[in-house]
């Protein structure tokens, strides 16, 4: 049997105070993938990751990492995963190279097997190797945390909101590094708010909302499930109000002559939508459409739940 990188069954977490952050999560992260865990703020993403990291105690359920149950084999489970937390945490008085050496020591990595400088180079921090951590920018600290998570060469790397506070260019470098690690066989799990990023990077995406998994599919299938389409229609005269028709899910007057119409492609097609516009006596000058993307799926799956 090929084991999963991460396997989670019936995972629940109720915090002291009564907040139920996870409510029966079942999730399998296949080995070798880049796996995206998406969800709105407060969905339970960090709680799930912190349970895997051993930072939060679960209330119910089980989880294993690289085949090691986190309760039965905590040491092996811990050795199999590197975690980059959402919060930036480390001692401001150590330099990046010292930070990595200390971390390697904590994980019992023998001196001869340490690759601290190589890791700093990979995250573009080699010229900061001897600077105090407190002098690093937010983005540099984030990248140092990624290097720190990799000192024991775990087969699974988990990044919780890794691009928060990282500028576009450095974000790109971070993703290049994540891709390189993945090509070398590291299974990557990341949480992000940037849906577009997840769409480009991830092989598979799970969406979590109110502590429950509401979708878990290959990225391509998930994007394909988006049923809402949007067309912008330019008409031949000025409008003061948007026309109405039963086939429009939503219609917004975007300019004097531009209407943005949302329709559900499982109910009607674009031709019927345009016919409904012209039926009111308007002539159509231009039409542009936008393919549904992950954002549409995300919104439709997380909308309306209390
Ligand atoms: P996400 O990472 O998806 O934004 P979190 O896992 O951080 O979500 O939080 C899930 C829910 O649990 C939220 O309602 C949050 O307020 C609550 N929560 C998180 N940490 C704690 C804690 N230490 N004590 C009590 N409630 C918490
Ligand atoms: Mg979080």
**Residue 306 binned pLDDT confidence (cut-offs 50, 70, 90):** very low
Q: Whose CA is nearest to atom 17 of ligand 1?
A: 21
State the CATH class of domain 225-302. Answer: alpha beta
Quote the ligand 1 centre to 14 CA distance (angstroms): 10
Residue with tokens 């009111």: 280
CA distances from 189 to 34, 148, 175, 195 (A): 6, 16, 12, 14
pLDDT beyond 90 at 283:
yes
Type and span of the H or E element at 96: helix 96-106
Q: How many CB atoms lie within 10 A of CB 48?
A: 31
Per-residue pLDDT, 221: 84
> Residue 45 C-alpha to ligand 1 middle, in angstroms?
8
The reported pLDDT for the residue numbered 2 is: 60
Nearest ligand to the C-alpha atom of residue 39: 1
Pocket mutation for ligand 1, best pick of 12, 15, 36 (most atoms within 8 Å of C-beta): 15
Supply the CATH classification number for the domain 6-223: 3.40.50.300
pLDDT recorded at residue 86: 85
**pTM for the model:** 0.80
Q: Tell me how crowded residue 272 is: count the other CB atoms within 10 A of its CB.
A: 12
Question: What pLDDT, on the 0 to 100 scale, is given for residue 280?
Answer: 85
Confidence of residue 1 (pLDDT cuts 50, 70, 90): very low
Distance 41 CA to ligand 1 centre (A): 9
Domain-by-domain residue ranges, the chain?
A: 6-223, 225-302
Contact 33, 185 (CB under 8 A): no
- Selected residue with higher pLDDT from 39 and 294: 39
pLDDT confidence of residue 293: 66
Task: Please write the tens of the pLDDT for every residue from 89-127.
Answer: 777 889 999 999 999 999 999 999 999 999 999 999 999
Q: Taking CB atoms and a 6 Å cutoff, what residues make up the pocket around ligand 1?
A: 15, 17, 19, 21, 39, 41-47
Pocket mutation for ligand 1, best pick of 13, 18, 44 (most atoms within 8 Å of C-beta): 44
Q: Cα of 160 to ligand 2 centre, how many Å?
A: 7
Q: Say how many CA atoms lie within 13 Å of 50 toward its Cβ.
A: 18
* Nearest Cα residue to 188 out of 49, 29, 43: 29
* Residue having the nearest C-alpha atom to atom 22 of ligand 1: 15
Fold matches, 6-223 and 225-302: no
Closest ligand 1 atom to residue 47 Cα is 6
Ligand 2 mean position to 142 CA, how many Å?
15
Q: What is the Cα–Cα distance from 226 to 291, expressed in whole angstroms?
A: 9
Instruction: Give, using CA atoms, the residue closest to atom 27 of ligand 1.
Output: 15
Please give the number of the atom of ligand 1 that sits closest to the Cα of 211: 10
User: In the block, which residue shows the tokens 């409008």?
Assistant: 239
Look at strands 34-38 and 204-209 and give their pairing.
Answer: parallel
Tell me, what's the pLDDT at 40? 86
Residue 208 CA to residue 135 CA, distance in Å, equals 36
Residue 245 has pLDDT above 80, yes or no: yes
pLDDT at residue 305 is higher than 90: no
61/133: higher pLDDT: 61
Contact indicator for 148, 141 with CB cutoff of 8 Å: no
């Amino acid at each position: 049997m090929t084991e999963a990188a991460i396997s989670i069954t019936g995972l629940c977490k109720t915090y002291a105070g009564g907040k139920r952050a996870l409510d029966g999560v079942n999730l399998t992260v296949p080995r070798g993938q880049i796996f995206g865990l998406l969800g709105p703020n407060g969905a339970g993403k960090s709680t799930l990751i912190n349970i895997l990291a051993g930072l939060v105690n679960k209330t119910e359920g089980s989880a294993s990492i690289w085949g090691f149950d986190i309760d039965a084999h905590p040491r092996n489970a811990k050795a199999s995963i590197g975690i980059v937390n959402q919060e930036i945490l480390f001692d401001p008085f150590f330099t990046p190279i010292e930070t990595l050496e200390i971390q390697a020591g904590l994980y019992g990595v023998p001196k001869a097997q340490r690759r601290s400088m190589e890791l700093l180079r990979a995250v573009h921090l080699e010229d900061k190797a001897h600077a105090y951590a407190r002098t690093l920018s937010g983005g540099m600290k984030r990248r140092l945390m990624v290097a720190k998570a990799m000192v024991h060469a775990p087969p699974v790397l988990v990044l919780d909101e890794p691009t928060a506070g990282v500028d576009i260019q450095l974000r790109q470098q971070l993703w290049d590094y994540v891709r390189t690690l993945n090509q070398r066989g590291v299974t990557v799990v990341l949480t992000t708010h940037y849906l577009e990023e997840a769409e480009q990077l991830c092989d598979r995406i799970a969406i979590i909302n109110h502590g429950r998994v509401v979708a878990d599919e290959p990225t391509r299938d998930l994007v394909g499930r988006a049923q809402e389409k949007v067309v912008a229609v330019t008409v031949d005269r000025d409008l003061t109000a948007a026309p109405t028709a039963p086939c429009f899910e939503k219609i917004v007057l975007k300019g004097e002559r531009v209407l943005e119409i949302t329709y559900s492609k499982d109910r009607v097609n674009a031709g019927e939508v345009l016919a409904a516009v012209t039926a009111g006596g308007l002539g159509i000058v231009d039409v542009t459409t936008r393919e549904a993307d992950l954002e549409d799926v995300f919104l439709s799956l997380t909308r309306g739940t209390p």
